[in-house]
Amino acid sequence: MARRPTGRRRPSGGAPSAAGPAAGGSPRDRIVAALLELLAEKSFESIGLAETAERAGVSLADMRDEFISKLAIYAAHIKAIDRQVLTGGEDDMAEESPRERLFDVLMRRLDVMAPQKEAVRSLLRSVRRDPPLALALNGLAVRSQQWMLAAANIDSAGPRGMLRAQGLAVMFAQVLRVWVDDDDPGLARTMAALDRGLGRGARWVALLDDLCRFVPPRCPSLRRRRRSAEDDRPDEEPVTA
């Protein structure tokens, strides 16, 4: 049974949309908003560039100036979510454990994503049948989760940080599958899934740390090994007639 989370979180529904302003915003923001609107109506793979431009009220030429692809548009949306989460931190979480801080950060992320729940549901369906899309989105998710780790004051640097971010991206994707069907205003099922996922992640990180203790910082080169072996050989006796 999952423990009761102690971290505070913003009430669900209180965060503004990360898709950009409504009509009248910049062309870039309108393009992102248009893609999310279309994604809530149809699959990612069936959305055309021309209809995205038309929904945004911009020309194809102007949209090409802003973005190179639909994936780039969605990446801009992810970046906007990251920014909102990073600027909405709670000062009183500094004394909490890393797990509680990360729980709070990820729940804030879900609050920011709430207006795009149908778009997320559609995208989750698309990645099940489109492995290249899933791989591309995983790259975006890992980069995003590195920022979430940083927001929780958890080390995300180096190979170990990359592994943490990758594990967190996979775990959060699993939580999203619960979240899209969680109609409870308090998100009880989602919070329980996130808490369980963070618990598994904490055990995995502990195992990783244990394994790293048995790995030398760097392996000597073959040349250094050979030189060391030569230095350890006993001196040869001189040849006499």
Any idea which residue has 């392996």 for tokens? 219
Say if residues 28 and 76 touch (Cβ distance below 8 Å): yes
170, two tokens: 């996979």
Query: Based on the number of CB atoms within 10 Å of its own CB, is 146 exposed (0-12), middle (13-18) or buried (19 or more)?
Result: buried
Give the range among 48-62, 73-87, 94-108 with minimum mean pLDDT.
94-108
Higher pLDDT, 42 or 209: 42
Decide: helix, strand or coil at residue 38: helix
CA 23 and chain centroid, separation: 29
Structurally, the chain folds into a number of domains equal to 1
- Give the model's confidence band at 160: pLDDT under 50 very low, under 70 low, under 90 confident, else very high: confident
Longest Cα–Cα distance in the chain: 101
Q: What is the mean pLDDT of the chain?
A: 82
> Residue 165: is its pLDDT beyond 90?
yes
Residue 61 has pLDDT above 60, yes or no: yes
pLDDT (tens digit, 9 = 90+) per residue, 105-129?
Answer: 999 999 999 999 999 999 999 999 9
Q: Residue 164 and residue 155: Cα distance in Å, rounded? A: 9
Residue 107 domain-assigned (yes or no): yes
Residue 19 resides in a domain: no
Q: How confident is the model at residue 93 (pLDDT cuts 50, 70, 90)?
A: confident
For the range 121-126, what are the long-range contacts, defined as Cβ-Cβ under 8 Å and sequence gap of 24 or more? 121/180, 122/39, 122/40, 122/41, 122/42, 122/43, 122/44, 123/39, 123/44, 123/74, 124/173, 124/176, 124/177, 124/180, 125/43, 126/43, 126/44, 126/45
**138 within some domain:** yes
pLDDT of residue 88: 78
Statement: residue 217 has pLDDT above 70: no
Q: Supply the pLDDT for residue 16.
A: 40
Instruction: Return the pLDDT at 96.
Output: 87
134 lies in which domain range? Answer: 74-213
State the pLDDT at residue 183: 94
Task: Report if residue 55 sits inside a domain.
Answer: no
Could you tell me if 70 and 51 are in contact, meaning their C-beta atoms sit under 8 angstroms apart?
no
Nearest residue to 36 via CA among 116, 110, 138, 127:
116
> Would you place residue 193 in the very low, low, confident or very high pLDDT band (cuts 50, 70, 90)?
very high
Q: Quick one: pLDDT at residue 235?
A: 53
Identify the pLDDT of residue 76.
98
83 within domain boundaries: yes
What is the DSSP track for 58-100?
Answer: --HHHHHHH-SSHHHHHHHHHHHHHHHHHTS--GGGTTS-HHH
Any domain includes 69: no
Looking up tokens 């989602």 gives 190
Within a domain: residue 84?
Answer: yes
CATH number of the domain where residue 86 is located? 1.10.357.10
Residue 37 lies in a domain: no
Please give the model's pTM, rounded to 2 decimal places.
0.76
Q: How many C-beta atoms lie closer than 10 Å to residue 35's C-beta?
A: 25
31 pLDDT tier (thresholds 50, 70, 90): very high
